[in-house]
């Protein structure tokens, strides 16, 4: 699923609010890494596409 910039920002903000760490930089870094990995994952359509 492709996310718009607004959707990604909302996801990042909500994930940051869930974290209980004390260092804002570390919280953002952790959430940004998760977002990067999620965006690099193959989409579900490519997993179900027939092999050529």
Q: What is the mean pLDDT of residues 27-46?
A: 76
Is the pLDDT score of 45 beyond 50?
A: no
Is the pLDDT score of 3 beyond 50?
A: yes
Q: What percent of the chain has pLDDT over 90?
A: 0
Cα–Cα distance, 52 to 44 (Å, whole number)? 17
The whole-model pTM stands at 0.55
- Each domain of the chain, given as residue ranges in start order, spans 1-35
Q: By C-alpha distance, which of 2, 4, 1, 33 is closest to 16?
A: 33
Is 16:31 a contact under the CB 8 Å cutoff?
Answer: yes
């Amino acid at each position: 699923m492709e996310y718009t910039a607004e959707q990604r920002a909302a996801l990042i903000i909500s994930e940051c609010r869930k974290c209980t760490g004390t260092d804002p930089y570390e919280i953002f870094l952790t959430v940004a890494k998760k977002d990067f990995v999620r965006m690099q994952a193959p989409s579900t359509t490519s997993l179900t596409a027939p092999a050529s």
